[in-house]
Structure 1
Amino acid sequence: MAFSTQDNDEVLSEINVTPLVDVMLVLLVVFIVTAPLLTNSIPINLPKTEAVAPVENKEPLVVSIDAGGQWFVNKDAIAPELLQGNLEAAKRGNPDLRVQLQADDGANYGQVAKAMASIEKAGITKLAVITAR
C-alpha cells in the first residue's frame, strides 16, 4: 500500500460500476425466473353451445418426386408435362388450393425446379416444400 503525503483534494471522477452490475444481474435473474410463469394460460370453463359444423379443412395436394425421377400427385403417377394442366384443373375446383412438394433426397434438382415452375405457372401461390427433420 502506498500512502501519499500530499493533500490531494481533487474530486474522484470515476464511476464505480460494480453496484450497477450487481443490480443488473439481480434483475436478469428475476426476469429469467418470472418469464416462464407469465406464459401459463388462465383456466377458464367455456360455456357449452349447440354443435356446429366444423370448418372444412381441405387436404393439400401433394406433388412427389421419387429418386428415380417419377412424379406423383396424391400417390397417382403422372407425366411431368401433365402436371401443370392437372394443377390448373384442381385450382379451378378449389381457388384456395394448397400444394405440398416433396422430393426424394436423391432426386435431380432440375426435376424439382421443373415441378416448382409448373406449380407457379398453374397459378398456385400456397406451396410448402416438405423436408425430413
Structure 2
Amino acid sequence: MQLPIKLSEQSREPIYHQIEHQIKALIASGQLEAGTSLPSIRALSKDLEVSVITTRRAYQNLENEGFIKTSQGKGTFVANIQASFKKEIKHDTVTKAFEQAIDTAYQHNYTKAEIQDIIQTILSKEGDR
C-alpha cells in the first residue's frame, strides 16, 4: 500500500512531522480505517525517499499518541480512534493549512483584506460541495 503523502522540502516543519500530520489526517478523514495495514518503515521511507530514521520517528510518535499499533512480526496497523478525537484532528489539520496559507500570503505582502478576498473567491468558485 502506498500512502498519499506529499512532503515539502521548503516547509519549516520537520519531515517526520509532515509524515505524522498527514497520516493523522488520513486516519481522521476515514481514508485509513481502523485495522488497515500500513507500509513497513522501510517501505514507506523508500516510497517517500527519506531516511528510515525519519520514518521510524514518525511511526513511533504516532504509536505513542495512539494512532497506530505495531505487532511484532505482523506489521503496523491503524488503531481504533474515537469519533470526537477524529473531529479534533480534522479541525487542527484544516486550521494548520489555513495558517500556513496565510503566512505565505503575508510573506508576499498581502493585506488582511486581500487575503480575505482570496478566500472568498475560492469559496465562491467551490460552491456547495
Query: TM-score when scaled to structure 1?
Result: 0.29
Larger Rg: 1
Higher strand fraction (1 or 2): 1
Higher helix fraction (1 or 2): 2
Specify which structure has the bigger relative contact order, considering alpha-carbon pairs within 8 angstroms and separated by 6 or more residues.
2
Query: TM-score when scaled to structure 2?
Result: 0.30
